[in-house]
Structure 1
Amino acid sequence: MKRTHLPLNALRVYDAAARHLSFTRAADELAVTPAAVGQQIRALEDHLGTVLFRRTSKGLELTEEGRAGLDALREGFLKFEESVQAMQAGQASDRYTIAAPREFYAQWLAPRLAAFRKATPGVQYQLVENENADFTEANLDLAVRLVDGPGDLEGVELAPARRVVVAAKDAPEEVLETWIDWPGAPLPEGAQPCVQVGNAGQALSSAVAGMGKAILPYLLVEESLKADKLQILEGPDEGRRAYWLVAPLPQWRQKKVKSLVAFLTEE
């Protein structure tokens, strides 16, 4: 069945005018001019082929045809509101689905999510390891990505893009002379890696294990430095990529996402 095109804006104006029996008061409610209300009503009457209001010595009044549709219209607007509330239910939800690199989650994110949960009891998390997962397919609220900017997503940088060269604490000289290679940090020209890994987390684990030195984001290694598991050999220096909290605009606007982002970035 083909649906009839509904002039929803004009119907909204009609509802307001019918409640107030005044174009002026309807205009005040809708934050438009009385003339705009009049134009919408005339357009709606043309669309319906009937007169909805008449002017009398006592003021504005509804015609019989105008009164006939009001109850159904207002019930319809209530259904619209219920529909919108259902679609916005995630904004009030206490469930978060977050994608983040495994080692970054362990080193930085997990303690802060625990603190957020303590401050907001009842919050539940679902963690996705693939930080590059599709937001729609994985039903994500947020993702943490090591990138040089948010791209076409909304985002906030968790810390300035700084990098350091690190190795295990008290590592012997032969370890300090060997490199751990991973795709996000090109090695100095002529450097020969002894270990090649796939991501920053694996490079961090390799460095802590004493397999060589690695160029890593400072934010990722900060906790290991505090725990005396690593030492800084060079830096911190300005880097190109940083850890960003990112999400598409609809998720970014959700109240629950705003709340978590504010908590994670308040330090």
Structure 2
Amino acid sequence: MKRTHLPLNGLRVLDAAARHLSFTRAADELAVTPAAVGQQIRALEDTLGTVLFRRTTKGLELTPEGEAGLAALRDGFLQFEESVRAMQAGQSSKALTIAAPRDLTAKWLMPRLSAIAAADPEVRFAIVADEEVDFAQANLDLAIRWGAGPGEQEGEALESDGMVVVQAPGGGADTAIAWTGCLTEDAGAAVRVADAGLAIDAAAAGLGRACVPELLARGDIAAGRVIAVGEPRASDKGYWLVAPTPQWRQKKVKALVDALAS
């Protein structure tokens, strides 16, 4: 059903003027001039095709037509306020839905979410395996994606040293481990796995060497499961925290971005 265009500014002025029965006091409430109030009322009267106020020797008074619509108008404004509160409730909540690659979730994200939750027991997380999930369909607050930038979204890069080659502390097989999406996938690799997280695990098991994102391997290197072979090398790609502008501006998302990027 097509909705009637509502002159909301004029209706707001009507409500204030009807309560005060004074264009001057209504103007004070609305932080405008009395002349602006008068202009809005005249424009509303032209739109509605009826007279809303008349001036008498006792001052300003509502016409029967103006009086007839006030109760419904004020109920409508109350409904607007309830609608705004309902829409803001999601922003003020501490429930966040995050999409991230499975290997990044296991190797990097979960320990950080655990620390955030320990600092604030009221926070709640829902994690979605990211395969370019649609933000609207999945009701996402934030996504972490691999790429050269945030694309069409707002975004912030996660700090990293690029790519690093890792192997088991004892050395293991002197062969390459390939994974889907690897920047330098070896056609002759002895082991092939689905993602960089599994490539790190294969290297830890002694199956060879894997070239993986340094951010992903950082925890396993620190724990001694694998060691870095040589120095990390720069990459034009990395992990990005991304979200559409409306989500990116939410306080709870900003706080999460700050916590994850620090």
- The residue aligned with 2:184 is 187
RMSD, aligned CA:
2.7
Matching of residue 240 in structure 1 with residue 236 in structure 2: yes
Matching of residue 251 in structure 1 with residue 257 in structure 2: no
Q: Per-residue displacement from partner, 1:10-56 (whole Å, max 9, x unpaired)? A: 21232233344454554555455555443322211101112223456
Matching of residue 5 in structure 1 with residue 1 in structure 2: no
The question of whether the paired residues in 2 share the 8 Å contact of 1:161 and 1:240 is answered with: no
- The residue aligned with 1:86 is 86
SS in 2 for 1:196: strand
The question of whether the paired residues in 1 share the 8 Å contact of 2:130 and 2:143 is answered with: no
Q: Per-residue displacement from partner, 1:218-260 (whole Å, max 9, x unpaired)? A: 1111111101112212332221122112222232233322232
- The residue aligned with 2:221 is 225
CA distance in 2, matches of 1:146, 1:24: 59
Q: 1:22 to 1:243 in 2, by over 3 A?
A: farther
How do residues 152-191 of structure 1 correspond to structure 2 at under 5 angstroms?
Answer: 152-160=152-160, 162-172=162-172, 175-176=173-174, 178-187=175-184
Q: 1:32 to 1:217 in 2, by over 3 A?
A: farther
Give structure 2 stretches of 5+ with no counterpart.
Answer: none
Q: TM-score, normalised by structure 2?
A: 0.86
CA distance in 2, matches of 1:29, 1:233: 70
Matching of residue 216 in structure 1 with residue 212 in structure 2: yes
SS in 1 for 2:17: helix
User: Which amino acid letter does the alignment assign opposite residue 47 of structure 1?
Assistant: T
Q: 1:60 to 1:235 in 2, by over 3 A?
A: farther
CA distance in 1, matches of 2:133, 2:74: 42
The question of whether the paired residues in 1 share the 8 Å contact of 2:107 and 2:197 is answered with: no
- The residue aligned with 2:256 is 260
- The residue aligned with 1:197 is 193
Percent of aligned positions that are identical: 60
CA distance in 2, matches of 1:262, 1:41: 47
- The residue aligned with 2:110 is 110
After the TM superposition, which of the residue ranges 209-218 and 70-79 deviates more from structure 2?
Answer: 209-218
User: Which amino acid letter does the alignment assign opposite residue 93 of structure 1?
Assistant: S
CA distance in 1, matches of 2:251, 2:230: 41
User: Which amino acid letter does the alignment assign opposite residue 13 of structure 1?
Assistant: V
Q: 1:111 to 1:25 in 2, by over 3 A?
A: farther
CA distance in 1, matches of 2:2, 2:140: 35
The question of whether the paired residues in 1 share the 8 Å contact of 2:163 and 2:235 is answered with: yes
CA distance in 1, matches of 2:16, 2:227: 69
The question of whether the paired residues in 1 share the 8 Å contact of 2:51 and 2:63 is answered with: yes
Q: 1:126 to 1:2 in 2, by over 3 A?
A: closer
User: Which amino acid letter does the alignment assign opposite residue 263 of structure 1?
Assistant: A
User: Which amino acid letter does the alignment assign opposite residue 179 of structure 2?
Assistant: W
CA distance in 1, matches of 2:176, 2:228: 14
The question of whether the paired residues in 1 share the 8 Å contact of 2:97 and 2:139 is answered with: yes
CA distance in 1, matches of 2:30, 2:180: 56
Q: 1:186 to 1:111 in 2, by over 3 A?
A: closer
CA distance in 1, matches of 2:22, 2:54: 11
Q: 1:49 to 1:186 in 2, by over 3 A?
A: same
The count of aligned residue pairs is 262
CA distance in 2, matches of 1:135, 1:152: 12
